[in-house]
Amino acid sequence: MGENTLRALTSDLAYLQAWSLAATGACLPWPAPEALLLKFVAHHLWQPEQRGIDPHHGMPADVERSLREQGFLRASGPHAPDTVRRRLASWSTLTKWRGLTGVFSSPSLKSAIRLAVRATPRPRKRKSAKAVTSDVLTKMLATCGTDSLRDIRDQAILMVAFASGGRRRSEIAGLRREQLTAEPPIPVEGGPPLPSLAIHVGRTKTSGAEHDEVVYLTGRPVDALNAWLAAAKIEGGSIFRKVDRWGNISKRALEPSAVNAIVKQRATLAGLEPGEFSAHGLRSGYLTEAANRGIPLPEAMEQSRHRSVQQASSYYNSAAQRSGKAARML
Distance CA 304, CA 199 (A): 12
Homologous superfamily (CATH) of 134-323 is Intergrase catalytic core (1.10.443.10)
Query: Average pLDDT of 6-17?
Result: 93
Distance CA 143, CA 132 (A): 15
Query: Average pLDDT of 12-18?
Result: 96
Q: What is the tens place of the pLDDT at every residue in 149-171?
A: 999 999 999 999 998 888 988 89
Check pLDDT > 90 for residue 38. Answer: yes
- Which residues are paired to 253 by β-bridges? 241
Question: What is the helix, strand, coil percentage profile of the chain, to 5?
Answer: 55, 10, 35
- Contact criterion met (CB below 8 Å) for 89 and 18: no
**Quick one: what percent of the chain has pLDDT higher than 70?**
86
Domain boundaries, the chain: 3-119, 134-323
Q: What is the pTM of this model?
A: 0.65
Residue 225 confidence class, pLDDT cut points 50, 70, 90: very high
Distance CA 122, CA 78 (A): 10
Residue 304 confidence class, pLDDT cut points 50, 70, 90: confident
Q: Which of 248, 249, 192 lies closest to 223 in space, CA to CA?
A: 192
**Span between the terminal Cα atoms of the chain, in Å:** 51
Check pLDDT > 70 for residue 330. Answer: no
Q: What is the tens place of the pLDDT at every residue in 169-183?
A: 889 999 999 999 999
Give 280's Cβ-side CA count (13 Å radius): 8
Distance CA 66, CA 110 (A): 28
At residue 55's C-alpha, the angle toward residues 52 and 59, to 5°, is: 110
